[in-house]
């Protein structure tokens, strides 16, 4: 399971002032906690500083994170200028989060992706707006991926996001995403599939139960990457258990290692 750690996002109340004030120690601590918890990418979002200041702020985040942990960064921005600037300072291969099927976004981002060859998150939406059904997600996702593949982006560099919406607005949103995951995974087997997990529970009480259930059910449908808070030990334990039960953990090696390292709640570290 590919873990994209979500905590360094300027839309979070405690992150926004740290980005604005260039609080290096705070960002370093967040990066280290997430890396120690098992992250593969550290997502960095600086969008709340505004479009003009964002390129510099995102570059600062990338430098601070990569000076602290030996991990690539997920460049989380709707701003092509910020993405382009951050790719120049990033060491190794970043993840661009994200591109969609919207014509303007393709025009601005696809040439950068072809040139710099990052990993890329592909959102299943286009100029029609947020998808309203599983069929909308599948159609928008397939059109976007086919366009990216035709431009030379390797299928294995793409992570598909079928866009989970809150079940508080439509109780069938989860089922729509499960159907889209199964269909897109069958059509593009070399691509990975991810969701922004916590979107599913927006507006509902005790959100953690919905988030954790969504994680396991989406994995069962074929999801193999996730944007998540890796410092949530209970959620990560469910991920280890689900991988073992789905046959994705040979001889349960990762589950056993997690237990030995005290990463399963109730099991103290040796």
The confidence score (pLDDT) of residue 267 equals 53
d(CA 96, CA 86): 10
The confidence score (pLDDT) of residue 266 equals 75
Is 79:53 a contact under the CB 8 Å cutoff? no
The confidence score (pLDDT) of residue 8 equals 98
Q: Could you tell me where the DSSP H helices lie in 69-101?
A: 80-89
Is 10:41 a contact under the CB 8 Å cutoff? no
Residues with pLDDT less than 50, the chain: 270
E strand or H helix that includes residue 172: none
């Amino acid at each position: 399971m590919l873990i994209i750690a979500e905590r360094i996002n300027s839309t979070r109340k405690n992150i926004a002032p740290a980005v604005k004030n260039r609080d290096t120690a705070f960002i370093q601590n967040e990066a280290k906690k997430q890396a120690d918890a098992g992250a593969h990418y550290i997502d960095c979002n600086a969008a709340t500083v505004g479009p003009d200041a964002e390129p510099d702020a995102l570059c600062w985040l990338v430098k601070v994170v990569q000076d602290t942990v030996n991990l690539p960064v997920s460049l989380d921005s709707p701003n092509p200028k910020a993405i382009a600037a951050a790719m120049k300072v990033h060491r190794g291969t970043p993840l661009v989060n994200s591109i969609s099927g919207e014509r303007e976004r393709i025009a601005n981002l696809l040439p950068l992706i072809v040139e710099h060859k990052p990993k890329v998150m592909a959102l299943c939406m286009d100029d029609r707006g947020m998808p309203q059904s599983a069929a909308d997600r599948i159609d928008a996702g397939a059109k976007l991926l086919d366009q990216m593949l035709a431009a030379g982006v390797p299928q294995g560099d793409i992570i598909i996001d079928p866009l989970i919406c809150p079940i508080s607005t439509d109780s069938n949103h989860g089922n729509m995403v499960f159907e889209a995951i199964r269909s897109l995974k069958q059509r593009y087997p070399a691509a990975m599939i991810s969701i922004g997990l916590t979107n599913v529970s927006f507006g509902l009480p005790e959100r953690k139960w919905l988030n954790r259930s969504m994680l396991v059910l989406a994995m069962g449908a074929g999801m193999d990457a996730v944007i998540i808070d890796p410092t949530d030990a209970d959620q990560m334990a469910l991920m280890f258990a689900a991988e073992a039960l789905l046959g994705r953990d040979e001889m349960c090696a990762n589950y056993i290692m997690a237990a030995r390292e005290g990463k399963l709640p109730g099991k103290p570290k040796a």
